[in-house]
Structure 1
Amino acid sequence: MDFSVVLFLLLTACISYLIMTYGRMLQKRGQLPPGPIPLPIVGNLLQLDTENIAQSLIAISKKYGPVFTLYMGSKPTLVLCGYETIKEALINQGEQFIGRGPIPVFQNFTKGNDFAFTNGERWKELRKFAVQTLRNFGVGKRSIEERIQEEVQFLIKELRKTNQLPFDPTIIICRSVSNVICSVLFANRFDYEDKNFQTIVSTTNENFKIMSSSWGTLYNIYSEIMDYLPGPHKKLFSNYEMLRVILQDAIKAHQETLDPNCPRDYIDVFLIKMEQEKNNPTSHYFIESLIMTMQNLIYGGTDTVTTFLRYSLLVLMKFPEVAKKVQDEINQVIGQNRPPDTEDRKKMPYTDAVIQELQRFTDIGPLSLPHLVMQDTQLQGYKIPQGLPVIPVISSVHYDPAQYEKPEVFNPANFLDQNGCVKKTDAVMVFSAGKRMCPGESLARMEIFLFLTTLLQNFTFQPLVNKEDIDLTPIGSAVENLPRPYQCCAISR
């Protein structure tokens, strides 16, 4: 057969397939909440700024409302915007929206053997185990507070070594924050020069940069294609494998020295649980799930707090009058002769308000990790079918004009009443909301207060440029809003 005929038939078949696929897409679209018309293959991707997805989605919501359908490639996704809408879905209808939607940058490595990116009984069991084990090792109690206080002092020593010269705070802060969760997982903190620890910190930091870039976005939409294409996304999985080797070696060492009557850390407790369930064919406790749940905890327990602290220092250098008022409150309540503790927060309303405003304003997680509709339901008059992925746009909560008078302005008064007392609000969802909230929320809140107040107790941070020239616009917005790279000087107080 002539080659041109073969080529013609092949093209005809491809075009026919695309037409049928697109027809089915449009037919299904008619059964979902309204949204922009998708194109074949790319869906609505061309309508998104992959460097600022959250703002693109908020802009679309102004036309189609707070509940709309968007096509990520050829697959429909439900998008939720605004505090009331997200509260209705994730909290009031928590069981219906409790599933974890697709996020290949993680799931193609964890393969359902973890608690953060899986569903069903495995998610429930492994999450419950992780929360209980963290609590048993002091999370939310005085013992973990003492670990954090100790680690912050190591950070203070490292910052003093800068001799008030310019430095990039990224890795210095990341090492200190990571050591808190590592002390729970591995029984002891790492020395900052430990090679394995440096690998944990550097690979975690690099992966979040990639996931928050356009490459991470494209991989989540077209993972089947991207797996065969070169690019920075390939580094994600080599970094995961480097972490796996470290975890495997640590688990092996623990197996050789395990005392079932005296568990030292998360690894020991998991290994004991494995032994108890060794004859259970449906057990969720095996080495691979130990590796993947530890990976969940390292990533979750390192990057969010690190990014928040980096971003917060940048904001406070932009608004030094706010930093000064926090330092004045530190002087009044704590002084300079002892480290801060969590009880101090009750006596520090301005500092508390500043922290909440920093969480809102920096908007570290602009998009919640995808959810999944687990049963047919209704939301704001629309029928929502089971199995539909859901993206709650957390930025739309933090910048909701119905909740904040001038959401684009950094203003700690958003969280203070007329008497200067802390004003509570649920319209801060930095740890998401509902039953899929971050299991390390209590640990993160404690870390944020102790790290930030201790840093400001000991130092005044000065930028290398005029405060007017500090750019607070984030880079990346797929997984995290990251502050632009910067250097500063830590001036001892």
Structure 2
Amino acid sequence: MDSFFSLIGSYVDWDFKSLLLFTVVFIIVADYVKNRRPVGFPPGPWALPIVGNIFSIDHTKTHEDLLQLAEKYGDVYSLRTGQERVVVLNGLEVLKEALVTQGDSLADRPDYPLQTERSHGLGVIFSSGHNWRQQRRFALSTLRYFGIGKKSLEPVILDEFTHCAEEFRSFKGKPVNPHLIMNNVVSNIICFLVFGHRFEYGDEKFLKLMQMFDEIVQIQASMCAQLYNSFPALVRHFPGPHKRLKLIWKDVKDFIRAEINEHKKTMDPSDRRDYIDCYLNEIQTSKGQDDNTFDEENLIICVLDLFVAGSETTSTTLRWAFLYMAKYPEIQEKVQAEIDRVIGQSRQPSMEDRANLPYTDAVVHEIQRMGNIVPLSVPHITNRDVQLGGYTVPKGVIIIPNLTSVLFDKNEWETPNTFNPGHFLNEEGKFVKPAAFIPFSAGKRLCLGENLARMELFLFFTSFMQNFTLSMPAGVKPSMDFRFGVTLAPKDYEICAIPRQEK
């Protein structure tokens, strides 16, 4: 009898192992059949079953890994993130072909679960189709109305620099971490345009908001975010940064909603003070119209998007600027000499000065190139079958424009990995902008905040160089190490801003 049960036990054990083996083999074969590369599809590295290439990419330097893969597989290659196929584009010609020549076919955004839960297809950054076109058109026209790209916004930016300069002078040349200060400085310009007012640098509520935005750009580019977007039904039940992200979005939306409610109390339809006033007015005038996308939920997401597009990238660029000026004091001196010669110390800079400050302008652009603030742009998705680089990319494939591959292309730049303002100067010392300078991406999805960013960067940087000399604390060398996220930011550091001659 014992031998009988022993035989049955061994059979059941063997049968379970067989079932397990069969299940594993079935999953692998099914995954291969479902995800095998279509005919004419771009090549790429081998992917693990189920998870794809998620674990084969270093998420602390994704842009560098993608650049190395381009050397092996070419300017157009593919990856898998979970069950999604992704095509990575490298090089100026390929990006122009995709984003400009075939821009209509790549104008939409992928439906990432983390973004969908944040914006529900609303706003101007992650929306697509009619909603995107209507909201972007309204945002651009409204922001132009309030001065973006016009001389009327200059006093607002320069006034904010005055507050900023007072803050830096209060440290009397001692080391200071410029991170939150610069976030506050740049965000105040967006606050003026959107809310109609600025926030003091010591405002605890606003500082908390800036810290939350900083967390957002880190979490959204993490491996945890990749796993959530690939397997949302599974990952959402586990603890992780995605839960923190949802809490942050709730707090940010509550902050914006409170501002909107204050506007409702004091709004005068005949006196539009800012973007929120204009939007609330548009909600009223658009009621009942076909294909209307204007409502309060869309307003909240649009305001949130404007903050992301108009503050994080510019403040990060300025923090890189401080580091590069401290690292290359001889370049800083040349900038200051040019500013002293053209503007002097008796007045503030103006956008009209840019034409007479070619070296300063070149330095600003080289900071943007080397800073590489948005290294992988924002993902696109094909809305029809397209031909890219000789390959067939079907409808519904995610597209990653690798801006790093263009900004550091050895065929486009004389010394791509060296800080060299000469990249933007001709033989006569006049400013020139090469076609490969595309830090704001290109085509129909060109960064919404480009014009504002260009104005802020020039005026803030020139004002800083006019008023301060930047250096590292005694005995500290500038570290150019980055912190990878949605934006490529310098690791936190301290800087000494030493006032130049008093006016």
TM-score, structure 2 as length reference = 0.93
May I ask how many residue pairs the two structures share in their alignment? 490
Measure, in 2, the Cα distance between the counterparts of 1:258 and 1:7: 71
1:492 paired with 2:499, answer yes
| Matched AA of 1:257 | T
Aligned-CA RMSD value: 2.1
1:184 paired with 2:190, answer no
Query: Residue 318 and residue 217 in structure 1: after superposition, are their counterparts in 2 closer, same or farther (change >3 A)?
Result: farther
Pairing partner for 2:26 from 16, 19, 30: 16
Q: The residue matched to 2:313 in structure 1 has which SS?
A: helix
- For the 8 Å contact 1:50–1:217, the answer to whether it is kept is no
- For the 8 Å contact 2:325–2:471, the answer to whether it is kept is no
| Matched AA of 1:336 | Q
- For the 8 Å contact 1:51–1:214, the answer to whether it is kept is no
Shift of 1:360: 0.7
1:412 paired with 2:412, answer no
Stretch moving more, 8-17 or 432-441: 8-17
Shift of 1:162: 1.1
Counting only pairs closer than 5 Å after superposition, residues 378-457 of structure 1 correspond to structure 2 as 378-457=387-466
Measure, in 2, the Cα distance between the counterparts of 1:82 and 1:452: 29
Shift of 1:279: 2.0
Query: Residue 275 and residue 466 in structure 1: after superposition, are their counterparts in 2 closer, same or farther (change >3 A)?
Result: same
1:120 paired with 2:142, answer no
Pairing partner for 1:471 from 456, 473, 479: 479
| Matched AA of 1:454 | S
Query: Residue 380 and residue 179 in structure 1: after superposition, are their counterparts in 2 closer, same or farther (change >3 A)?
Result: same
Measure, in 2, the Cα distance between the counterparts of 1:161 and 1:449: 24
Residues 58-104 of structure 1: CA deviation (Å, up to 9, x unaligned) = 11111111011111122111110111111111112211221213444
Measure, in 2, the Cα distance between the counterparts of 1:248 and 1:344: 39
Q: The residue matched to 1:96 in structure 2 has which SS?
A: helix
| Matched AA of 2:348 | P
Q: The residue matched to 1:99 in structure 2 has which SS?
A: coil
Query: Residue 31 and residue 194 in structure 1: after superposition, are their counterparts in 2 closer, same or farther (change >3 A)?
Result: same
Shift of 1:231: 2.5
Flag structure 1 segments of 5+ consecutive residues without an equivalent. none
Query: Residue 315 and residue 211 in structure 1: after superposition, are their counterparts in 2 closer, same or farther (change >3 A)?
Result: farther
Shift of 1:206: 2.3
- For the 8 Å contact 2:40–2:391, the answer to whether it is kept is no
Counting only pairs closer than 5 Å after superposition, residues 263-412 of structure 1 correspond to structure 2 as 263-280=272-289, 282-412=291-421
Shift of 1:216: 4.1
Shift of 1:155: 0.5
Shift of 1:395: 0.3
Q: The residue matched to 1:282 in structure 2 has which SS?
A: coil
Q: The residue matched to 1:152 in structure 2 has which SS?
A: helix
TM-score, structure 1 as length reference = 0.94
Q: The residue matched to 1:283 in structure 2 has which SS?
A: coil
Measure, in 1, the Cα distance between the counterparts of 2:240 and 2:471: 37
Shift of 1:358: 0.9
Measure, in 1, the Cα distance between the counterparts of 2:329 and 2:224: 35
Measure, in 1, the Cα distance between the counterparts of 2:222 and 2:492: 14
Residues 167-220 of structure 1: CA deviation (Å, up to 9, x unaligned) = 100001110100000111111112223343223222112222333444444444
2:4 aligned residue: none
Measure, in 2, the Cα distance between the counterparts of 1:219 and 1:319: 42
Residues 358-416 of structure 1: CA deviation (Å, up to 9, x unaligned) = 11111111101101112222122211211111001000000011101221111111111
Structure showing greater radius of gyration is: 2
| Matched AA of 1:486 | Y
1:86 paired with 2:95, answer yes
Flag structure 2 segments of 5+ consecutive residues without an equivalent. 1-8
Shift of 1:232: 2.9
- For the 8 Å contact 2:53–2:79, the answer to whether it is kept is yes
1:42 paired with 2:62, answer no
Measure, in 1, the Cα distance between the counterparts of 2:188 and 2:234: 37
Percent of pairs with identical residues: 38
2:206 aligned residue: 197
Counting only pairs closer than 5 Å after superposition, residues 64-213 of structure 1 correspond to structure 2 as 64-213=73-222
- For the 8 Å contact 1:196–1:246, the answer to whether it is kept is no
1:462 paired with 2:466, answer no
Query: Residue 195 and residue 15 in structure 1: after superposition, are their counterparts in 2 closer, same or farther (change >3 A)?
Result: same
